[in-house]
Amino acid sequence: MRPCRPCRPIRPCRPIRPCRPTRPCRARRERPRPGTRPSEHALKIRILGTAAGGGLPQWNCGCAGCATARRTGAARSQDCLAVSADGAAWYLVNASPDLRSQLLATPELAPPPGTRDTPLRGVLLTSGELDHTLGLVTLREAAELTVHATAPVRAALHEAFPVGPLLAPYTKARWHTVVPGEPVELAGGLVAEALALGGKRPRYAADLAALPAGEGAGEPAGGRTDWVIGYRFTEAGGRARAVYAPGLAAWTPAVDRAVADADVVILDGTFATDDELAERTGGARGSRGMGHLAVADSLPHLAGRPGPRYLYTHLNNTNPLAHPGSPEATALAPALAAAGAAVAEDGMLLDL
C-alpha cells in the first residue's frame, strides 16, 4: 500500500555502498582478549526460522511430529536469518514465506519509532527455492530493496518465478550478482563471501533455458555449482566469522576450509538420516539426492573440526531432531554434544 501523507518516509532508506569485491578477509586476525572485545563491529545473528519448506507443523501433515507441534505449540517457521556487523544495518539471508511474522518478532528489525527507516539494508539469497524466496513479495512496501543472488538464481527469479518483474511496480529493487569466492562489502562493516554448494535447481526452474547473456551467463558442462550457495560472514575488523549453509549437499574441501576458523557454523539439518524421507513416504530418494547432507553424515565432519559452535537448521518435519524428547532425538543428543553441535531454535540471537 502506498504510504499515506503523514507516514511517508521521513528520510529515505540509506542506500548501501555499491557491491564490489573487497580485499579477501581470510587473514586471521588477532582475537581480542575476553572482556576487551568492543561491542560494535562484531557479528550479530538473529535466527528467524529453522524449519525446511512447509515449516513445522506443516499445514497438511498430521504425522506424529506435526501433531505434537500443533498440540504443544512448539512450532518452527521456515529457514531464514538476519545478520549485522554493527547492530544497526541488518541483512536478511533468504526471505521465507513466514517473513512477516519473523520480522514482527524481531526487535532489531523494527523501524525506530516515528520513522519508516527500516534497519533492513538488503537480502542475500542462498538459493532460489520457494521457501527461501516467497518472502520477497512481503518486502514490497520497502522504499527500496536490494537483493543479492547468484546469476542462475537471479535468472530464475526473473523468468521462471518472476518475482523481480513482479516487485518492480511496488518498490525500487536493485539486484546484484553474487559470485562465489568474491567477497561483497555490505553496510555496517559486514562482509559476505559466497561459497558454491551445488547445482540443484528449484523444481519450478527445471526447464529454465540457458542463462541470459550478461554477467555470469552460461551453463558450463557438468552444470553450474552456484544454484545453491552458503555464505561466510565476517565483519570488517575480522574479529568474528560465521558460516551459513542451510542447503549442503556434500562436505567438500571448500566447506572444510570455510568452517575451519569460524566461530559459528549454521548448517543443513534437513534430515537426520539419508533414508529418513524415503522411510516415511515409501519413496526412493535419499536426502543427499535432494541436496541435503543428513545430520548423521555431516556429524563426523563436525567432530573432526572442533572449535566452531555448530547449529543445525532447515529441519524437515520428518526429522526427529525437530521433536525434542522423541526417542530418536534423545538417542542422537550425545553425538551432537560431542561434536559441539546443537539444533538451532527460532529467535536465537548469536552475538559473536
State the residues that interact with ligand MLT by CB under 6 A. 52-53, 129-131, 203, 247, 290-291
Cell of 42: 562484531
* CA of residue 282 relative to chain centroid, distance: 30
CB 26, min distance to ligand MLT, A: 29
Beta carbons of 51 and 182 less than 8 angstroms apart? no
DSSP string, 301-341: HHHTS-SSEEEEESB-TT-GGGSTTSHHHHHHHHHHHHTTE
Binding site for Mn ion (CB under 5 A): 53, 129, 131
Grid coordinates given for 133: 524466496
Each residue 310-339 as x (binds Zn ion by CB under 5 A) or -, in order, gives -------x----------------------
C-alpha span between 349 and 292 (Å, rounded): 25
Comparison of 43 and 66: residue with beta carbon closer to Zn ion: 66
61 sits near Zn ion (criterion: CB under 5 A): yes
The cell numbers describing 347, all together, are 529467535
Q: Which is nearer to ligand MLT, 105 or 130 (CB)?
A: 130
* Minimal distance, residue 250 CB to ligand MLT, in Å: 14
329-341 residues labelled b (16+ CB within 10 A) or e (exposed): beebeeebeebbb
Can you give the C-alpha Rg of the chain in angstroms? 20
Q: Which of residues 63-122 bind Zn ion (CB under 5 A)?
A: 63, 66
Nearer to ligand MLT, 90 or 312 (CB): 312
Q: How far is the CB of 190 from ligand MLT (least distance, A)?
A: 25
Name which of 90 and 271 has its Cβ closer to ligand MLT.
271
DSSP per-residue string spanning 133-165? HGGGGGGTTSSEEEEEE-HHHHHHTTTTS-HHH
**Which does residue 290 bind out of Zn ion, ligand MLT, Mn ion, none, counting CB within 5 to 8 angstroms by kind?**
ligand MLT
Closest to Mn ion by CB, 127 or 146: 127
Alpha carbons within 13 angstroms on the beta-carbon side of residue 116 total 16
- How many residues of this chain interact with Zn ion, rule: CB under 5 A? 4
C-beta of 131 vs 226, nearer to ligand MLT: 131
Taking the complex as a whole, how short is the minimal distance between the CB of residue 273 and Zn ion, in angstroms?
A: 16
Residues that bind Zn ion in the complex, under the rule CB under 5 A: 61, 63, 66, 317
